[in-house]
Structure 1
Amino acid sequence: MIKVGIVGGTGKLGKDIIKLLSDQTDILIGAVIARKGNPFVGNDLGSLIDGLFPNILIEDNIPDSINKCDIYIDCTSAEAMMSNYDAYRLANKPVIIATTGFNAEDIERLSTLSSSIPIVICPNFSIGVFKFLKLIKLAATEFGMNSDIDIFEYHHKYKKDKPSGTAIAIAHSIKDTGLEDPINIHSVRSGNIIGEHSVMFTTNDNERIEIAHKIYSREGFSKGVIETIKWISSKQAGLYGIEDIYE
């Protein structure tokens, strides 16, 4: 049995993950933590999410939840995640980071933290996205040298980061093949779009190659969330990415 602490559990992603885990028998919600001053703190989780987990009270302090959790999933923001750095260090439990926007200094600090605990940075739980990144690398190797490269990403209007972490990962995958800028990223925030990413290679010979990945339901993330939780629960200290989980 794995007990999970959801940090940022009152936000959109946090609530989605809680719902995904509600029917699991070998993964339990151990605690839900929100920021101090959050109006839901002190209320039971059932009052926030469709009556689910009415016996769990929403907390505002990671250290108070240590004995209730085997791992943590951080669904907050880069700034909030880094403000909880010392709390995670003291908790000494594996951490799944499901947010983006970290700068070079943040990554360096996370690398230091990962010398004592396992950390996986997972901005997108979709298994299809991992395979999509592999296809992008192949396409960049075959077509990228003589092409204009454009990345398009579409998300719901409430998503704060722009470009998305997945779009940034796509750009890094392309650069890993030896290609450099300009790689143009175009971001759209509209409606309730769950997540769409595509890459367009436009050659000077009037040809265009496009590769796309679309999520039609948040259930598409479900298997990835569960796989990531189970995977990190048995890992040694280290800094990991989605490629380490699905290789």
Structure 2
Amino acid sequence: MTRIAIAGVGGRMGQALSQAVMEHPEAQLGAASERAGSPLLGQPPTAQDMAVRVVSDLASVLDAFDVLIDFTQPEATVAHAALCRAHGKRLVVGTTGLSASQQAHLENAAKAVPVVFAPNMSVGVNLTFKLVELAARVLGDSVDIEIIEAHHRHKVDAPSGTALRLGRVVADTLGRDLETDAVYGREGYTGARDRRTIGFATVRAGDIVGEHTTLFATDGERVEITHRASSRLTFASGAVRAAVWLDAQPPGFYDMQDVLGLR
């Protein structure tokens, strides 16, 4: 049985993760944390986990968990990665908006403990990555490629980590550099489209859980590969699946493609 700690258990994703842990036959909730000052501190995270009490510092409950799942904020995630490395705890990270230096902290932790880092833990999204790779390989440079994503109004980073991963899949497949070929929105007189560019369009509205479309278009036809999530539980279930999978893995830096055997 994999004992799991959830960082940010009071948030929308934290609540979904609690449910996903409860529903997985090989997982149990061992610990849960929230920010200092949260009214949840000292309380059980859910009615089903009365033996667990929410803490502000996971260092105080190290004996209660084997793997930490973190969908919080970049600064908190970096601190949690250092904690896991220092104490031999496995780590699953779904936090988005990390800078290159913050991601480097995760990669450094992965030298000592196994880490799964993915912008999207959904099984369906990770299948979508493979389909987009296939489409890019087949269609090549003969099409214009745009990525359209939509999320709820509370999401603080844009484009989403999943949209950026889709763009990187396209760029890597076609031998392009996403840093120079990405176009993030358009306004005013832009001139004709450069076929090598990879466009991104972002929508933030209402309670949209997550929608991503990769559009391959040329004269006379277009191919659209779309994933729509209707519940955060799909991300949470994937994260718990990754946490259990880490039981048998050596130290290393993994993603959901590894977890699902899609490499």
TM-score norm. by structure 2 comes to 0.86
Do structure 1's residue 45 and structure 2's residue 41 form an aligned pair? no
Is the contact between residue 45 and residue 55 of structure 1 (CA under 8 Å) also seen in structure 2?
no
> Alignment partner for residue 63 of structure 1, among 51, 59, 65?
59
Deviates more, 1:54-63 or 1:35-44: 35-44
2:225 paired residue number: 211
Q: 1:5-154 residue pairs with structure 2 within 5 A?
A: 5-46=5-46, 51-154=47-150
> How far apart are the structure 1 equivalents of 2:96 and 2:151?
14
Q: Unaligned stretches of 5+ in structure 1?
A: none
- Which position in structure 2 is the counterpart of 1:238? 252
The runs of 4+ residues in structure 1 deviating greater than 4 Å are none
CA distance in 2, matches of 1:216, 1:8: 21
Q: Which structure carries more relative contact order (alpha carbon 8 Å, separation 6+)? A: 2
- Give the structure 1 partner of residue 204 of structure 2: 189
Give the number of equivalent residue pairs.
Answer: 242
Flag structure 2 segments of 5+ consecutive residues without an equivalent: 182-196
Contact 2:5/2:68 (8 A) holds in 1:
yes
CA contact (8 A) 1:145 1:179 kept: no
Contact 2:16–2:236 at 8 Å: present in 1 too?
no
> Given the alignment of the two structures, is residue 179 of structure 1 paired with residue 176 of structure 2, yes or no?
yes
SS of 2:16 mapped into structure 1: helix
Change (3 A) 1:32 1:222: closer
Residues 92-112 of structure 1: CA distance to partner in whole angstroms, max 9, x if unpaired? Answer: 110000111222222222222
